[in-house]
Structure 1
Amino acid sequence: MKKLIFFGGMCCLTSLILIHLPLLANVPLIRVRRNQVRCEPPLGRIISKGDKRFEVGSLICKGDKLELLNGGSVEFLCFSSGKFLKLPSGTIPLDKCAESEQASFPCNPSNTDGCRIQKGGTEGSDEPTIISPYSTSTLNPRPEITWTPVKGATSYKVKVESYEFGWEKIVNQTRLAYPSDEKEFQPGSIYTIYVFAYKDGNAFSYDSTPVNLLSVVSQEEIAQNIKRIKELGLPPDETVLDIDAIYASENLLNETIEMLKSQTETATPSRNPTLYRVLGDRYLRAWLPNEAKRQYTKAFEVAKSSNNSKELQKAQEGLKMVKFYNQLPTRRNGAQ
C-alpha cells in the first residue's frame, strides 16, 4: 500500500513538472555578472526590454540567439566597440559586434609594426615622462598634468600651445592643476602639452603629448550612454567595467583610469581581479608599463586567492606584455 502511495505521489510530481516545463523554459535568463557566463569574453549586454530569453542587463555570449517579441528590436551594448546597437531576432552578427580582444594592444610580440619608440622617462631618469593626461583624447577641458621626476632637476616648466592660445608655468613639483586663470581647452581642438626639466636655470630634457577635447556632440552621446548603463542597476563592478568599454572605445584613458582607480583604491580594497587587470590594460595602452605591472601583480594575487583561473591567466599574460614593453628601445629628448 505504501509503495502504491509513493508511486502515486511520484506520478503526480512528474505530471506537475511536465505541465510546468514550458513555463520554466520561457523564464528569461538573468546573468548580469561576468562570472555568471561561461564565454570569455562576453560580446556585450542587453540594454532594453523585448527579448523572450534574456532579461534587461543580461550578458550575451557568441552564439546566443535573440528571440524578440513582436518582431521588434532590442538595444545592445557591444563591448568591443563601446556602441549601442539595435538588433533583431537571431544570432548577433560579428560584423556588427566583433569579439572583444583580451587586451587591445596594437604593439605586441606578434605585431611589432604597431610599436613606437617608448618614452624614455622613468622615476629618477634623465628626462620626464608625462603621465597624465594619459591619452590624446579627453572630456576634461582643464586636465591635471603630471609627470615622472627627473634626476637632478631643480624645477620644471609646463607649457601648453595651440593655434588659439598658449601659456606656461614654472613649478618645483611633478604635478600641476590646470591654472584657473588660463583659458580652458575648447571642444574639437588639439593642444600640445610640454614638460621641460630645468637645472640651474637651463632646460636639459623634455616630454610632450598632444591632447584633443572631444566635440560637444561626442561628449553628449557618451554622457547619454553612460546614463543608460547606470540606470540598469547593475552591481557596481559591472557598471564600472561597462563604462570602461565606452571610454576605452573613444581612447578616453584619463576618464577610465581615474574611474577604475576610484573603484579599486577604496577603504575596503576590491576583491575583483578583473578591475585590477583591466586597469593594468589601460595603463599599458597609455605606455606606462611600470604602473601596469603594479595592477597586473595585484590582479594575480587576488585571482590566486579567489581561485579565479581565467583572471589568473590574464594577469600572467599582462605581466609578459609589461616585460615586452620594457625591452623596447627608448628615445631621448633634447631640450628646447
Structure 2
Amino acid sequence: MAGVPLARTRRNQVRCELSGRLISPGDKRLQAGSLVCDGEKIEVLNGGRIKFFCFSTGEILDLSSGVVSSDICAKSDLSKSACYTGNGDFCSRTPKGRAEGNDEPTIIYPYVMPTLKPRPEIVWLSVTSATSYKVRFDCYDFSWERVINQTRLAYPSEEKPLASGQTCQILVFAYKEDKITGGNPSVISLLPQNEVAQIKDAVNQISKLKLPPDEAALDFDAIFMSRDLLDETIEQLNNVVSVGTKNPTVYRVLGDRYFQAGVLDQAKRQYLKASELVKTSNNLTELRKVQEGLKLVDYYNQLPTSR
C-alpha cells in the first residue's frame, strides 16, 4: 500500500552490506526495526531525527535525513578486536594443533578479559589422568582458592565478587599422581559501571523492537562484540541455537565467536551446521563466510601444537 513504511527486519530479506537498523519510527520508507544497507538513504519525516543502531560499532546514533555511510556508521578496526577471524595469525588465544590429550589445564571460560559478570563461572579442559584441580582467583585486594575433582567451578557465593573496573587473574592447577601442573593464567576484568549501563541500555532498546529471536541475538552480538564480550554473545547465540533456529548466519557467527574464544571443536561444529543450512538459502555471501571459517579452523588444527 502506498505511503505505508516497509518492514524489513530479517537479514535474509536483503542482499546488501548491512549498516544497521532503525530503532525508532519516523523514516518515510522504513518502519522501526528495519534493516538499512550501507550507502542507503534515510528520509526522516518533518525534518526530525531518528535513532539508528550501527552494527559495526554497536552504538545507537541520533540521525537526521541523509545517506548512511561509513562516515556516519564507522567501520570498526577489526585488528583491534579480541580476535578477527579474517586474520588467522592475529588470533593469539586460538590454540594451534589438535592435541589428543592435555598435559595442563587450559582455561576455556571466561573466554576473554572483559565481562559483565561479577561472579563468573570458571571452566577448563581436563588433564589426562588428573585426580583433582586447584582453582586460584587472585585480585588486588582479595584472593581465594578451591580444590575440586571437576573441570567446572561456579563462583563461590561466599567469596567477594569482582568490583566495577577490577582486573583479576585466574589460575588452574592439576594434581596428577605426585605432580602438580599449571596452565597459563587467564585475566578477567569487570567492565566499569558506565560502560555496563550503556550496554544494558542498547540491549533494552533492541529488545523493545520485538524482533525475531535470531535477529535480536545477532544485534546483541554487535553490541557485545563492540566491547569484546565473548562470554555474553556466545550465551545469547546459544540460546537461539537451543530452540532449533534454521538461520545459517546464527550458526556461522557462533562459529566465529567460538573460534575467537579458542574453542576450535565447537567452532567447527557450528560452521558445519551453517554450511548445511546455507545450501538451501542461496546466500552466496554467507556461504563464502562459512567456508572461510572452516578453512581457518582446519588451518589451525594442522599446525604443530607448540607455539
Q: Is the 8 A contact 1:44 1:61 kept in 2?
A: yes
AA matched with 1:144: E
Q: Does 1:312 align with 2:291?
A: no
Cα RMSD for the two superposed structures:
2.5
The structural deviation recorded for 1:28 is 1.8
Secondary structure at the aligned position of 1:207 is classed as: coil
The structural deviation recorded for 1:290 is 1.9
The aligned counterpart of 2:57 is 81
Cα deviation digits, residues 285-324 of structure 1 (max 9, x gap): 1122222111101111122245444333221111011123
The structural deviation recorded for 1:99 is 4.8
**Matches of residues 33-182 of structure 1 in structure 2 within 5 Å?**
33-40=10-17, 42-99=18-75, 106=83, 112=89, 114-116=90-92, 118-119=94-95, 124-182=101-159
Q: Does 1:255 align with 2:232?
A: yes
Give the TM-score, by structure 2 length.
0.91
The structural deviation recorded for 1:96 is 3.0
Number of matched residues?
Answer: 305
| Deviation larger for 170-179 or 65-74 | 65-74
Identical-residue share of aligned pairs (%) = 51
| Deviation larger for 100-109 or 156-165 | 100-109
- Note the residue ranges of structure 1 that are not aligned, 5 or more in a row: 1-22
Give the distance between the partners of 1:312 and 1:93, measured in 2 at CA.
25
Give the distance between the partners of 1:117 and 1:257, measured in 2 at CA.
16
Give the distance between the partners of 2:148 and 2:137, measured in 1 at CA.
14
Q: Is the 8 A contact 1:28 1:53 kept in 2?
A: yes
Distance 1:66 1:304, change over 3 A: same
Distance 1:95 1:306, change over 3 A: closer
The aligned counterpart of 1:283 is 258
Distance 1:181 1:107, change over 3 A: same
The aligned counterpart of 1:206 is 183
Secondary structure at the aligned position of 2:183 is classed as: strand
Distance 1:37 1:233, change over 3 A: same
Cα deviation digits, residues 55-100 of structure 1 (max 9, x gap): 1111000121111122222111000100011112111231331357
Give the TM-score, by structure 1 length.
0.83
- Note the residue ranges of structure 2 that are not aligned, 5 or more in a row: none
Cα deviation digits, residues 92-130 of structure 1 (max 9, x gap): 231331357999785567673x34375479562212221
**Matches of residues 190-229 of structure 1 in structure 2 within 5 Å?**
190-229=167-206
Secondary structure at the aligned position of 2:52 is classed as: strand
**Matches of residues 19-38 of structure 1 in structure 2 within 5 Å?**
24=2, 26-38=3-15
Give the distance between the partners of 1:83 and 1:282, measured in 2 at CA.
20
Cα deviation digits, residues 168-224 of structure 1 (max 9, x gap): 111111101111111111111001111111112431232321101111111111111
AA matched with 1:316: Q
Q: Is the 8 A contact 1:123 1:149 kept in 2?
A: no
Give the distance between the partners of 1:300 and 1:54, measured in 2 at CA.
31
